Amino acid sequence: MERRKIGKSELKVSTICFGGNVFGWTANQSVSFQLLDEFVDLGFNFIDTADVYSRWVPGNSGGDSEKVIGQWLKESKKRKDIVLATKVGSEMGEGLKGLKKDYIIQAVEASLSRLQTDYIDLYQSHYDDPSTPVEETLEAYAKLISEGKVRVIGASNFAPGRLREALDASEKGLPRYECFQPEYNLVERAGFETEYLPIVKEYGIGVISYFSLAAGFLTGKYRSEADLSKSPRGAGVKKYLNEKGTSILNKLDEIAAKHGATPAQVSLAWLISQPGVTAPIASATSVEQLRDIAKAAYLNLDNGDLEELNAVSAY
């Protein structure tokens, strides 16, 4: 199993990252444990979650995913087998959000408790907090790194200018964001490639893409408006049901047939091969789905495949 470094850090991760938003939401604890065990057994080691997952679900208050992972870590004793990533900054209750130093230091303790671990491998700023100077946020992370509670830091959902500002501030002796987490996939290329890829290349930071399968559209599950009712996520892919989206699915079908693969595997393999990408994030709610996705890590697309996918998804 290939391992890639996150930016210039010492963290080495598998080329697929398991998206933990499903834990405690669309996957209950029992299923989540099965998924986590299978993921590690298949040779992968990278798991991404956030303190806020899944606060949007009625009855959940946030921290649900972290609690599931924490219980699994306690029972499986596999902490040393994984690179564990979580995030801070989303609203967890009235007054509980943002990237101010005091709040980060408070929030990390809550995450560590839920995760039942004494350190987080990759701690990420989930959303930018424009009201807080980037230096203050990085100073909070410096304290946590010095205390051994955090190993490496990353960012997500920052405007390009603020990401660059934070990276420049790190040159003054503060910790550096070693990765960025953007939305990036075959139907959503322009934002990342035009605004963030130049920054990623200039500073040598890693990329962990979310919505890697475009909310399921790139699995080929949604081909018409009639298909949108197949899943709660269906409404989110309606915007891709157009000529370009159909052309991308047709090309995925063609290349998948050539390799004896699935559209989801081809979509993830395309991402894995893109400049700057460390690992795409993908989720599964069954062991069967996970095994299907996992095959993407071993799917070698040739230059012709990549050129055809680039052409059909051009913006």
Residue numbers annotated as active site: 53
CA distance 293 to 219: 10
